[in-house]
Amino acid sequence: MSMTTIAPEQVNSIIRNQHQDPFEILGSHQIEKDGKKVWVVRAYLPNASAAWVVLPEERKEQEMQSVHDPQFFECIIDTQELTNYQIKVKEGDSERVFYDPYAFRSPKLTEFDLHLFNEGNHHRIYEKLGAHSTEIKGVKGVYFAVWAPNARNVSVLGDFNNWDGRKHQMRKSSDVGVWELFIPELQVGEHYKYEIKNAAGHIYEKSDPYGFAQEVRPKTASIVTDLDTYQWDDRDWMEKRRHTDQLSAPISVYEVHLGSWLHAGTNEPHKLPNGEVEPVVAVSELKTGARFLTYRELAEKLIPYVKELGYTHIEMLPIAEHPFDGSWGYQVTGYYAPTSRFGSPEDFMYFVDQCHKNEIGVIVDWVPGHFPKDGHGLAFFDGTHLYEHADPRKGEHKEWGTLVFNYARHEVRNFLTANALFWFDKYHIDGIRVDAVASMLYLDYCREPGEWVTNEYGGRENLEAVEFIRSVNHLIFSYFPGSLSIAEESTSWPMVSWPTYTGGLGFNLKWNMGWMHDMLDYFSMDPWFRQFHQNNLTFSMWYHHSENFMLALSHDEVVHGKSNIIGKMPGDRWQKLANVRCLFGFMFAHPGKKTMFMSMEFGQWSEWNVWADLEWNLLQFEPHQQLKTFFQDLNQLYRSQPSLYTQDFEEPGFEWIDCSDNRHSVVSFIRRDKNSEDFIVAVCNFTPQPHSHYRIGVQQPGFYTELFNSDAREYGGSNMGNLGGKWTDNWSMHNQQYSLDLCLPPLGVLILKLDRNKTAEVIKQE
């Protein structure tokens, strides 16, 4: 039966993929014919030689006719209602039956959703955009939605349509620029992309910006994923976190790159029944057959290791999907997808769940400052500069070869804001460390004069980025109290870790980059010269209370020719190891939370190599075993002494005893507990010269137990110390009535604590 209800140009707009609302042409439409209302069903079916409309409830088929094109079919159905029809097609020698996507018009995005997204305030937009398994009109399938406002057309591509963009053309649902389509009968696990055409008809095949999973590199398709099937078992941890003041809690972070901590198929360390470490063979490069550990294997190996060492948190270099292993994860293409290198999203949920069961928090590095130019990613997404600035003076980091997000655009800001919340919501992470904050704050970051544009007031501050950062942090702590938001900010920008209501950026911690540089400069010099650089040890306390600082010795300090920590130290091997113990002993006694990179805990000699394992073979040698024991005991001491963490950021929590003894390169200070009268005394000798009678002043008389000595024999030290502790003398020193006569070990850190019970008992006897 010939039809006259559709014009050739309308058919051509579908065939040429030029119609922004294919629902106007395709699918079922009620029309009037011969004074009677009937239904017409139209379908564009490339590769089909014949087609029929199937009415399952009536158990009948009606043949469709070609109209204006051999693959454009339609037919009139004389019925009052037409619901849940199917289409049968003949393609070559095969036939198949499917539900017509264009029969499902119910949008998942409401007008309110679009309004919130358009103004940048849809905090759960990841539940609307992207690919979502759902059910419409009793038919299960997958709903796709993508923001591409400047595209001429958008189609869904996948294995299910042979990656043919003609078959599943999407509808532009609003002026906001969101395209959507429900494809019935698709299931979780389908691979897909978006085919996007710009005004000139140029085609871009893009992964889903909101996709929850991607194929393993080098493939780049997104994967339909359901994130709500995993059964979490961390309710107690999450409830405890809600009521925890992180600033007065112990935070000792083990920073790890999952891809190079250990590989499967290589020799790896494990303990023999007698507690000794079995000798293993060094792995300098990946061996044939080596592969990444999965998230579940990492849960079995990494979590017990970190727990044994006593760290409170694991911080992972970015685990969002990225195409190049050598980028360490900092060039992200899938912001909503944990990298498939190590397994599925559910596998990563299991890893986090197991961390929480073992009382270990999870911090993820987050990269909202820039993104790579890979063709399947966000760059030039809809044929225009959508996520990035069009002006390269604003939109490109030439030093990194990456693009800068346009924080002034509401939808881009919404993409990033919701992404930060997403990791807390769906994956129960406990914190983020925001990478390269300085690159976001300054318009002239790594740019020469003439290569950047001022803000509206003529300044160098990126005002839109500042407001974005404040908004993200405000929302994180509003939705997820007890969480961490840590800034890697390398400049003197004020109030980075102050609350937003005071005008701060809203982070609750900031990496202390100044302390890091001062310490590494100081420890790299020959101890004789340290007497002239006492300021390196003391300067941090001049500004410490301006921010909530985290002391970090991170991955950045052990790559690119910088040597590993032990390699930076002067002297012979014994002195190098003693210097490492001295550095970290001072670090854990100093106010501020702690972060250190993997391999430092056992004294790896070589730089971190992203392509290889850590040098686990070193643990067959006693000095490296002893260093690992040192870190176990140091973490145990730190977590057991509230004086070392409850007042990290309050002035009463720290007091110098003597910071001016540069002749001996010794400093001594007090750390006080916030909730009791307890305090500890730290004395640090930064030279190989021991001091048998070194006197420091203390406020209270009694017996001071030596809680910790970095020069102990079990750590590989010379075992000089104070035989378990010292009684005070009535000898005034450092403006105090009492003093301690101590033996300071070479390159050693002593931690002492007043034993109130023993002191009281002796006083009572007297």
Question: How do residues 458-514 score in pLDDT, each as one tens digit?
Answer: 999 999 999 999 999 999 999 999 999 999 999 999 999 999 999 999 999 999 999
SS3 of residue 205 by DSSP: strand
pLDDT at 363: 98
> pLDDT-derived band of residue 731, with 50, 70 and 90 as boundaries?
very high
> pLDDT-derived band of residue 764, with 50, 70 and 90 as boundaries?
low
Lowest pLDDT segment from 30-34, 199-203, 731-735: 30-34
Q: Give CA–CA dist 664/696, Å, rounded.
A: 13
> pLDDT-derived band of residue 647, with 50, 70 and 90 as boundaries?
very high
pLDDT at 452: 94
Q: How far apart are the first and last CA of the chain?
A: 116
Q: How far is CA 491 from the centre of its chain?
A: 22
Q: Give CA–CA dist 61/58, Å, rounded.
A: 9
Residues 6+ apart with CB under 8 A from 452: 393, 394, 443, 444, 460
Percent of the chain topping pLDDT 90: 89
Lowest pLDDT segment from 170-179, 258-267, 365-374, 683-692: 258-267
pLDDT digits (tens, 9 = 90+) for 590-645: 999 999 999 999 999 999 999 999 999 999 999 999 999 999 999 999 999 999 99
Integer angstrom CA distances of residue 754 from 720, 729, 741, 758: 20, 14, 14, 9
SS3 of residue 277 by DSSP: strand
Arithmetic mean of pLDDT over the chain: 93
Q: Other C-beta atoms within 10 Å of 699: how many?
A: 16
SS3 of residue 245 by DSSP: coil
Percent of the chain topping pLDDT 70: 96
> pLDDT-derived band of residue 242, with 50, 70 and 90 as boundaries?
very high
- Within 13 Å, how many C-alpha atoms sit on residue 650's CB side? 14
- Within 13 Å, how many C-alpha atoms sit on residue 77's CB side? 26
pLDDT at 56: 83
Residues 676-698, mean pLDDT to the nearest whole number = 97
> pLDDT-derived band of residue 274, with 50, 70 and 90 as boundaries?
very low
> How many H-runs (helices) and E-runs (strands) does the chain carry?
17, 38
334, two tokens = 């899938």
pLDDT at 108: 83
Residues 6+ apart with CB under 8 A from 561: 607
Q: What are phi and psi of 529, to 5 degrees?
A: -80, -10
> pLDDT-derived band of residue 650, with 50, 70 and 90 as boundaries?
very high
Q: Give CA–CA dist 200/202, Å, rounded.
A: 6
- Within 13 Å, how many C-alpha atoms sit on residue 682's CB side? 28
Residues 548-561, mean pLDDT to the nearest whole number = 95
pLDDT digits (tens, 9 = 90+) for 712-722: 999 999 999 99
Residues 173-183, mean pLDDT to the nearest whole number = 93
pLDDT at 174: 82
Q: Give CA–CA dist 153/13, Å, rounded.
A: 11
Q: Specify the DSSP element, H or E, that contains 336.
A: strand 334-338
Give me the amino acid identity at 621.
F
pLDDT at 604: 97
Q: Give CA–CA dist 55/34, Å, rounded.
A: 23
pLDDT at 765: 62
Q: Give CA–CA dist 483/431, Å, rounded.
A: 5
- Is residue 86 within 8 A of residue 100, CB to CB? The reply is yes
> pLDDT-derived band of residue 277, with 50, 70 and 90 as boundaries?
very low
54, two tokens = 């199937």
pLDDT at 266: 59
Q: Give CA–CA dist 14/20, Å, rounded.
A: 9
The torsion of the CA quartet 77, 81, 84, 88, rounded to 10 degrees, works out to -10
User: Does pLDDT of 272 surpass 50?
Assistant: no
To the nearest 10 degrees (0 to 180), the angle between helices 410-427 and 345-357 is: 60
- Is residue 43 within 8 A of residue 87, CB to CB? The reply is yes
Residues 6+ apart with CB under 8 A from 603: 565, 566, 577, 580, 618, 623, 624, 627
431, two tokens = 């914190």
pLDDT digits (tens, 9 = 90+) for 309-358: 999 999 999 999 999 999 999 999 999 999 999 999 999 999 999 999 99
- Is residue 557 within 8 A of residue 598, CB to CB? The reply is no
378, two tokens = 């966000």
pLDDT digits (tens, 9 = 90+) for 73-84: 999 998 878 888
> pLDDT-derived band of residue 32, with 50, 70 and 90 as boundaries?
confident
Integer angstrom CA distances of residue 375 from 127, 323, 396: 25, 11, 16
pLDDT at 633: 98
619, two tokens = 């643990």
| Active site (catalytic) residues | 435, 488
pLDDT at 399: 87
Phi/psi class of residue 369: alpha, beta or left (left: φ > 0; alpha: ψ in -120 to 50)?
Answer: alpha
Integer angstrom CA distances of residue 698 from 76, 647, 653, 670: 97, 19, 15, 9
Reference 660, options 523, 527, 535; nearest CA is 535
Integer angstrom CA distances of residue 761 from 725, 758, 765: 16, 5, 6
To the nearest 10 degrees (0 to 180), the angle between helices 463-479 and 410-427 is: 30
Residues 11-40, mean pLDDT to the nearest whole number = 91
Q: How far is CA 165 from the centre of its chain?
A: 34
pLDDT at 298: 97
Integer angstrom CA distances of residue 444 from 447, 529, 730: 5, 37, 59
> pLDDT-derived band of residue 299, with 50, 70 and 90 as boundaries?
very high
Q: Other C-beta atoms within 10 Å of 587: how many?
A: 21
Residues 416-430, mean pLDDT to the nearest whole number = 98
Reference 636, options 587, 565, 716, 708; nearest CA is 708
pLDDT digits (tens, 9 = 90+) for 85-129: 999 999 999 999 999 999 998 778 999 999 999 999 999 999 999
218 preceded by a cis bond (ω within 30 of 0)? yes
Strands annotated E in 515-653: 549-553, 593-597
SS3 of residue 287 by DSSP: coil
Q: Give CA–CA dist 168/102, Å, rounded.
A: 9
